[in-house]
Amino acid sequence: MQILCAAVPLKPLAPTTTLTANQVIFDWSEPVANGKPITGYKVYIRRADLTYVIDTSLCNGLDATVTANTQCTVPLSKLTAAPFSLFKGYGVFIKVAAVNSYGDSEISDAGSGAFIVLVPDAPVNLANNPSKTSKTVISFTWEDGESDGDRPIIDYRITYDKATSNFVVLDTGIVSRSYTTSVALIAGRTYVFKVEARNSVGYSAISAEVSILAATIPGKPSTPTTSISDNNVAITWSVPDDGNAPINGFIILIR
């Protein structure tokens, strides 16, 4: 008679979690199997209320590939949503138990390493830059939102409505907080712009809109003339180019 000396696996070492871009990697080491092959793992993920749950839709430790690699990759967005509801700055903690045909090992100590980061807040204070905006070019600036999500902002994405209310991406990879159009614009039309900020996690929400008229300041008026009629002085001048925006008045200086 042969008797196999075997038991449940030994307790695994504490696992680790690592943030990479917009994903969190769960890693652990295979413990001593104790005579029977390890057939899977149970992975416990900590929620914001400090309780641990198994969610096989995120990390199925009984999957053959996961078992072989002792690793899961989980979208960061899943950990910030219910039922985990982890906020910015929270650590991502997990525990692991190994499984063989004799049962489950003792659950490991909690392990971590990754901390929750988020996309930036939407840019704010979009404003026309009148020193550069003209009949055919529009220039505007903006400021960063309150938070960068704990990751440096990489660049910005610009969308506009083509003066038709149908928004499309105008440009990406903008690294400064200002933008000047290079596409053909129609003088005298109003265009609407929005901006998104991007960090290593992803793009922010879209900013509030800014509407800017493709126009510039009026041209220089011609030299005025004066004439006397009875007890009055008449001042006349020619209306200059309006810069594609209606002239709403004149300032008259008298020496």
pLDDT value, residue 16: 98
pLDDT value, residue 218: 74
Whether the pLDDT of residue 230 is over 90: the answer is: no
pLDDT value, residue 251: 81
pLDDT value, residue 2: 53
Q: For the segment 60-69, what is each residue's pLDDT rounded down to a tens digit?
A: 999 999 999 9
What stretch of H or E contains 234? Answer: strand 232-236
Whether the pLDDT of residue 247 is over 90: the answer is: no
* Alpha carbon separation from 206 to 91, 119, 129, 158, 193 (Å, rounded): 28, 12, 20, 9, 10
Pick the range with the lowest mean pLDDT from 34-38, 45-49, 234-238.
234-238
Whether 183 and 162 have beta carbons less than 8 Å apart is answered as no
Q: For the segment 12-26, what is each residue's pLDDT rounded down to a tens digit?
A: 999 999 998 889 999
Instruction: Report the alpha-carbon distance of residue 228 to residue 248 in Å, rounded.
Output: 27
Whether 36 and 66 have beta carbons less than 8 Å apart is answered as no
- Check residues 216 and 88 and name the one with the higher pLDDT: 88
Instruction: Report the alpha-carbon distance of residue 211 to residue 127 in Å, rounded.
Output: 9
- Domains (range + CATH), the chain: 16-115 (2.60.40.10), 124-213 (2.60.40.10)
Cβ atoms within 10 Å of 78's Cβ, excluding its own: 17
pLDDT value, residue 58: 97
pLDDT value, residue 237: 76
Label residues 115-131 b or e (16+ Cβ within 10 Å = b).
ebbbbbbbbeebebeee
Name the pLDDT band for 216 (thresholds 50, 70, 90). low
Note every long-range contact of 169-177, with CB atoms under 8 Å and residues 24 or more positions apart, other chains counting: 177/123, 177/141, 177/142, 177/143, 177/144
Q: What percent of the chain has pLDDT over 90?
A: 74
Mean pLDDT to the nearest integer, 217-241: 79
Q: What percent of the chain has pLDDT over 70?
A: 95
pLDDT value, residue 128: 97
Q: What is the mean pLDDT of the chain?
A: 91
pLDDT value, residue 219: 72
pLDDT value, residue 147: 94
Mean pLDDT to the nearest integer, 189-200: 96
Q: For the segment 165-185, what is each residue's pLDDT rounded down to a tens digit?
A: 899 999 999 999 999 999 999
